[in-house]
Amino acid sequence: MFTRRALTAARAAPQAQAPTPTPTPTPAPVAPAASRTHKIVVIGGGSAGLNASHQLLRTGQFVEEDIAIVDPAEWHHYQPGWTLVGGGLKDKEDLRRPLASLIDPKLKFYNTGVGAFSPENNQITLENGDRIGYEHLVVAPGLKINTDSIKGLPEALADPRAPVSSIYSYETVSKVFPTIQQLEKGHAIFSQPAGVIKCAGAPQKIMWLALDHWKQTGLYNPSSPSTSPIKISFATGLPTMFGVPKYSAKLEELRKERGVEGLFSHDLISIEGDKATFAHGEEKVTKKFDLLHVVPKMGPHAFVKNSALANEAGYVSVDDATTRHTKFPNVWSIGDASSLPTSKTAAAITSQAPVMVSNILRALKGEEPQAQYDGYTSCPLLTEYGKVLLAEFKYGGVPKETFDDWFGMDQIEPRRIFYHLKKDFFPWVYYNSMVKGTWGGPNGWIN
């Protein structure tokens, strides 16, 4: 009886619903643990990376291996000296050092490349897959030379019979002066690409030295270029001789005085045999040459360009004044890889590095950046053997001339004293002081 009634009641009662299971939350991805962690990791063992690393170390606020440098290179090169090599004034072997020999033993050196950045996790991944953690990251790997950006250029540079050369790499710079010496007649073209390059004055520095060589050997008469065995053209992707109006006006004056043809807004795009083709607006212009000095296009390395650290152009996006990243407050950048809108030179780094170092030290104490970079950079423009126009300027192309401030000496005029700075003093101070973090450019030595 009880069973039948219970069954009847159960059938009459509303059916209970099974509770809906609570969804299991998907765990957030956890970054693999870093194999090592450092207070500061510096990407790049070039001018910027070495200078900044050693400045930080010299503050006395870091113990052994607090700071790490990551760079795959075997050799470190004094690249501003390659113009001197191209002009027959230096040997390229004298301008390089084993990279490891320049790094203080208190710094950890990872002699490998970067695979990827993980700024959200304060990590980088090395090319071998190891993960390195950091409190602060300095990104200063420089620029990549894109030789293959000009069709036919790699083949022409590699061909010892082709009169095509470039001062922009260790492998090709030794070909430059012999091609200048061998030319006895014909058309010599010196190119400069549109876009960002290392030291925007270098493409014409080598031209002025070549012109002076041919003048001294009787093959070029600036007063009568039309009757000279050699004709000279400067083919630049830019609309003017130089980006700073004051110095551009002087260089344009020299160009006209010396009979150099100006091919402005001519961007070299291909080489075939003895013909060079340039993009000129919507047109293509082809010129026959007997000597061609080429400056390849340049740009950020892929591991920077394709990372969360890059701006739309592929450079590390930093504040123009503080050098701090615009999104990640513990990331910094100076030198050629940074977005700092100034000419990319070693001289610029001498002013950028102290600002960045000061601001990193403040950030480590929880303070806001205070030091500010004003865009200072410099280009010692060789205008002939024995004379240099020393261009110094800051943001906006405003001249900021050291010798004008000290001695009232207008640097618009090429001078012999500046030539010896370029040829003798700067290479000496670079390896004896700058890469050690003790040279501050116009501000002199750093304690």
Q: Which of 379, 388, 389, 390 is labelled catalytic? A: 379
Cβ–Cβ < 8 Å for 367, 361? no
Q: Which residue has the tokens 């004896």?
A: 432
Within its chain, how far is the Cα of 171 from the centroid? 18
Active site residue 274: no
CA distance linking residue 48 with residue 42, whole number of Å: 10
**CA atoms within a 13 Å half-sphere pointing along the CA-CB vector of 237:** 18
Long-range contacts of residues 128-132, Cβ cutoff 8 Å, at least 24 apart: 130/35, 130/36, 131/31, 131/32, 131/33, 131/34, 131/35, 132/34, 132/35, 132/36, 132/37, 132/38, 132/41, 132/68, 132/70
Q: Is 76 exposed, middle or buried (0-12, 13-18, 19+ CB in 10 A)?
A: buried
| Amino acid (one-letter) located at 352 | Q
203: its two tokens:
């493409």
Active site residue 79: no
CA distance linking residue 58 with residue 102, whole number of Å: 15
Q: Which of 150, 199, 294, 349 is labelled catalytic? A: 199
Which residues carry out catalysis? 199, 379
